[in-house]
Amino acid sequence: MAFVCSIKQSASSNLPDSTQHVSFHCDPAYDSIFHGDSGYITKKQLFPFVLRNNILDTIGSNDNWTSIPDQHTMGKFYRQKDGYIACIVNVNAPFESLVLFETTADGHIENIQPYLHHNYCNCWDDSFGFGKIQDYFYVRICGTGTAFTSSELSIFKKLPSQLRQTPIIEFVWKGSITTPDSYRLMHISSLNIDGQKLHTTYLVEDGNENSKKNAKQIDHFEVNYTLKDGEWLPDDDHYFVKYW
């Protein structure tokens, strides 16, 4: 079975929908998927919709899709002005990735943007990696390697290309090649946005996988980011160089 980095829960939104819709959308499935202020999308809803709208294809990856249960959560959306912004999981080979797109008020799909993990998606846990911080959206991108795991946040108001993003480092986990079960973890302990300023505090700890409660904090530091031309620029990155 294909590994899908999405939460295994019902895709129906619990948020009330007070908006009255007039069905004039070009795709009859649009109103059944996009309604209310936010919600989730199941594989059953997603699969035919993305094919009809040329958001992605499944050439060479049919087995990956057919192995996923119909009610599995494969996407999430938020209202954005008169339309919506959505993030969906793409299980096409070779690695699972994401596709983000926006919709217009009349249901047309626009600004389709692929977002790629750095190899495998293993940093979402039980939470779908697309959400909101105040009036900003974020996407969580995972990184994997030998004794290495990381998470980065792309934070934006208007959906950009991934290539135009300077992501916010959320955490970096590095295991020890020479000392089994030992690790070093750098992670955000607080994040706040104030206009075009983003303030973060990071903690760094050393620990052992067999006794995580005894992890020892070895450092902490703050990094302030400024939004400039759509990118979050840190005021100091030497700690990232030190602990990456």
Q: Give Cα 170 to chain centroid, integer Å.
A: 12
Can you give the pLDDT at residue 19? 32
Distance of alpha carbon 93 from alpha carbon 97, whole angstroms: 9
Can you give the pLDDT at residue 5? 55
Can you give the pLDDT at residue 2? 40
Q: How confident is the model at residue 177 (pLDDT cuts 50, 70, 90)?
A: confident
Taking a C-beta distance cutoff of 8 angstroms, is the pair 168, 140 a contact?
no
Provide the greatest CA pair distance for the chain: 63
- How much is the average pLDDT of 165-169? 91
Can you give the pLDDT at residue 213? 77
Q: Which residues touch 174 (CB under 8 Å, ≥6 apart)?
A: 147, 148, 183, 184, 185
- pLDDT tens-place string over residues 33-53: 999 999 999 999 988 888 888
Q: Which residues touch 65 (CB under 8 Å, ≥6 apart)?
A: 2, 43, 47, 58, 91
| pLDDT over threshold 80, residue 173 | yes
Annotated domain spans of the chain: 22-115, 117-244
- How much is the average pLDDT of 59-78? 88
Lowest mean pLDDT of 47-51, 56-60, 101-105, 127-131, name the range.
56-60
Q: How confident is the model at residue 17 (pLDDT cuts 50, 70, 90)?
A: very low
| pLDDT over threshold 50, residue 14 | no
pTM for this entry: 0.84
> β-pairing, 216-228 with 197-208?
antiparallel
- How much is the average pLDDT of 180-196? 95
Can you give the pLDDT at residue 20? 33
Can you give the pLDDT at residue 8? 39
Locate 94 and state its tokens: 């070779």
